[in-house]
Each structure stands twice: as C-alpha cells, then as structure tokens.
A and B are shown apart, each in its own frame.
Chain A
C-alpha cells in the first residue's frame, strides 16, 4: 500500500539533516572568507550574502529534490525501477514509499520540527501584514511630491525610507527636504530609488525568512553584513548619479547630524549598530572594481554544474537513504 506519510516524514528528517549540515559548513567557512568578501563590490557582496543567508534552506531543498530524482525518473518511465536491486533497504522513493516512522521519540521530534516551521512561517506572514499596514499608515500621512517621484510626509523628523513589498514606495519627511541642500536631497532620493529598483525590502524579507536554519550568531553576523552591503550598494548608485562620492558621504553625516539636533532617540532596537562609519569610509576609499561575469562563462558553469549533478544524483539518493536508515534504524 502506498504510504506517502512515511515519505513526508523521511523527507522532513532528511531536509533538517541537510540544512544542519549546510549551516555547520557555513559556520566553519564564513569567518575565513568574511574579510575577503569586504573587497568585493557591494552589489556582488550583497547578492552573495543573500544566497549565503538562504543557503541552508536552498541546499536542503536542492538535495531533497535530487534525492527524489531517481524515483521520479523511474515514475515517468525514463529509467527502470532500481529498488529491487537493494531490497530490504529503506526506499526514499515514490514507487516504494517507506512505512511511517513508528518510533515515538522521532515522531515527537518531527512534530516539534513542524511546529517550529509553522511558527516561522506564521511570524513571517504577520510581519508582512504589519509591513503592509505600516505602508498604508505612511500613505495616509503623505502626499505625492509636486515634481519628483516620492511621497512627502509632513513630519518634523529627518526620515527617508522605502517601504512595501509588492509596490515599494519612497517616503521622505518634509523636515529632511527643508534642511538638506538640493544636491543632498538628490543623493537621498537616488539612494532610496536604488532600494526601490533593487526591491530591497523584499530581499530583506527573503534573507530573514530563509536564514532561520543558520546558527543564531552566524545568522546575526550575516544579516548585519548583508544590511551594510545593501546600503553601500545604494550609496554607490547615488554616488554615480550625483557624480561625487564625497557628497554622498557628506549627506549621510548631514542626516545623522539632523537626528542629533532633533535629539531623536533610537527608534528601534538595532541588531547591528550604526553602519555610518563603514559606509562613509567605503565612500572615501577608491570605488570597488566591479568585474562583470561574461555570459559564456555563466553558460559554461551552468552546463558543468548540470553534468556534475546528473553524474552524482544516484549517489546522493543512496547517501540520503543510508543516512536515514542509520538515524531511524528503519528495516
């Protein structure tokens, strides 16, 4: 009789195993490459960090998919079913799904795992709703600027931010507009519009949601570095548009000074601390060299990766089966 519940249980267990493995590898590697990554262009660094943050989830998903591939090939008739070759072994397969786990401790462990996953999905969903509501609040207190493509919030605090997930908008406070010079305002708008074009609120959401499997201290470090790389990317865009890197550095300090003049307290609890020094120092340094990766090189890499994957797909499948059998003592 088909027992896809067992397959689901083993799939969850294997996903957790792969995610933990990926996060342990991350812990070992990141401190070694963290310093080197600061030499990369902010845009490349921000993209790499986003992938790194999501890597446990991505790797677990990819390895589970690859582990299922041999049985998917058999199911669709591309290759003959191979399960008879290793009878009496746990089959991580759609054709001969394994029986459900009957060990109470493992069942409890899986239930806790599902609970934690549900908690993360639930809180992320509520965060999205909160963010949507916050954008609505900002929409209510703002009006479109007469000539430029942002919304003005009549507020006596220096505020400039991009908010929204589906439709991102830039909001700048009237106080900031009044206190900055036209060039400084141009810098702020260019910086925020860069966030808008890059869909940074969405990227931050992805980074937070899919990084849950990382070891907490590494996750915090990765998120802090990702935040900095994102801001530096937008600073670089603003510097290119305004044509003067020092003006961008000037503007960052001017806005921070405005906060101090207003005696504005920190509005939120920061996880990363201020990144102003790093941003200004980066703008004072030489612009980072940004080497574009050629398309042919990317095609070559894709083809090479596909060949490697197809070569080792059976090994991954058997590795997953062996490890699951070892963990669960499945017979």
Chain B
C-alpha cells in the first residue's frame, strides 16, 4: 500500500478523486465536464485541484498531446482505510470527545448482564402494555 501523507482533502478534491476512481483516468476538460459544470466551477479551478492532488501524490499524470491525463495513484479502499485509521486515532485519543455527540458513548461499555436486565425490563413493559390494551 502506498503511504499517504497525513493531509486534509477538501470536498472538491474528494469529488475529483471519486470521479477518477470511477473512470480510471481523465484530463482536466473531462473532469470539468463531469464535475465542474454542474457545480458552476471554472476549468482553472479543476486544473488547480488536479495539480494539488498530483502534488499530494494521490494522482499520477502523463502528458498526452497538449494536456495532462490524470489517474489515481491509490485505490479508493486503500485511501479510505488510511483515513478511517486517522478517524479511529482521533477518537481513541479522547481529547475532543466532549465536542462530539455520539448516540452511544464510545468510551464506556455496559456489561452483558446489565444489558440482559434492561432487555428483560423492556420486554416486561411491552407485555404490560399489551395486556393493558387487551383489558
């Protein structure tokens, strides 16, 4: 797996990468036609985004005629695995956990017997509710 420098990727950079993962390769005009037009982004913006991704070593490029043809240097799964690794690392250090609102606390696990007891309680409440309705 290629080592990816720890870096942040913007929304447009991710969109460009996603497009190139789908199409395998493309030049600036093709990428602009698929992504830039619908977003109202100029060809220059797409060109500089491709250039940035190339400098971040996420794209390869090859000069064909007068333009560069870009292709991903890393597979989607590889990049995602590394980025997920960063997410897990941030979650694990716990320094900003108070700035997240998680459905379930990532920091503490309940023991199985407690969960069994709570499930039993829910079942009893359900049964009470049903019998109450039947009466």
**Is A72 at the interface (CB under 8 A from chain B)?**
no
Residues of A in contact, count (CB < 8 Å): 62
Are the C-beta atoms of B101 and A274 separated by less than 8 Å? no
**Is A204 at the interface (CB under 8 A from chain B)?**
yes
**Is A145 at the interface (CB under 8 A from chain B)?**
no
Q: Is the interface of B mostly helix, strand, loop or mixed?
A: helix
**Is B121 at the interface (CB under 8 A from chain A)?**
yes
Identify which of residues 260-298 in chain A touch chain B, using a CB-to-CB cut-off of 8 Å.
Answer: 260, 264-277, 280-281, 284
Residues of B in contact, count (CB < 8 Å): 41
**Is A14 at the interface (CB under 8 A from chain B)?**
no
Are the C-beta atoms of B103 and A204 separated by less than 8 Å? no
Instruction: Return the chain B residue nearest A249 by Cβ.
Output: B122
Identify which of residues 107-124 in chain B touch chain A, using a CB-to-CB cut-off of 8 Å.
Answer: 107-110, 112, 114-115, 118-119, 121-122
**Is A101 at the interface (CB under 8 A from chain B)?**
no
**Is A246 at the interface (CB under 8 A from chain B)?**
yes
Q: Indicate with 1 or 0, residue by residue over B81-118, a CB within 8 angstroms of chain A CB atoms.
A: 00110111011111111111111111111101011001
**Is A255 at the interface (CB under 8 A from chain B)?**
yes
Are the C-beta atoms of A141 and B80 separated by less than 8 Å? yes
Q: Say whether, besides A134-B96, A246-B125, A266-B109, A280 and B118 are in contact (CB < 8 Å).
A: yes
Are the C-beta atoms of A267 and B91 separated by less than 8 Å? yes
Identify which of residues 178-229 in chain A touch chain B, using a CB-to-CB cut-off of 8 Å.
Answer: 188, 191-192, 195, 200-201, 204-205, 207-208, 223
Residues in A neighbouring B96, C-beta threshold 8 A: 127, 130-131, 134
Instruction: Return the chain A residue nearest B112 by Cβ.
Output: A260
Q: A140-B14, A260-B112, A275-B105 are in contact. List 19 more A-B contacts (CB 8 A).
A: A131-B96, A134-B96, A139-B14, A155-B84, A160-B102, A195-B101, A201-B101, A205-B99, A246-B122, A249-B122, A264-B109, A265-B109, A266-B106, A266-B109, A268-B92, A268-B94, A268-B106, A281-B121, A284-B125
Identify 6 residue pairs between A and B in the complex whose beta-carbon atoms are under 8 Å apart, listed by A's number.
A127-B95, A139-B14, A191-B103, A201-B101, A208-B98, A267-B94
Residues of chain A at the chain B interface (Cβ within 8 Å) = 127-128, 130-131, 133-134, 136-141, 153-155, 158-163, 165, 188, 191-192, 195, 200-201, 204-205, 207-208, 223, 230, 234, 246, 249-250, 252-253, 255-257, 259-260, 264-277, 280-281, 284
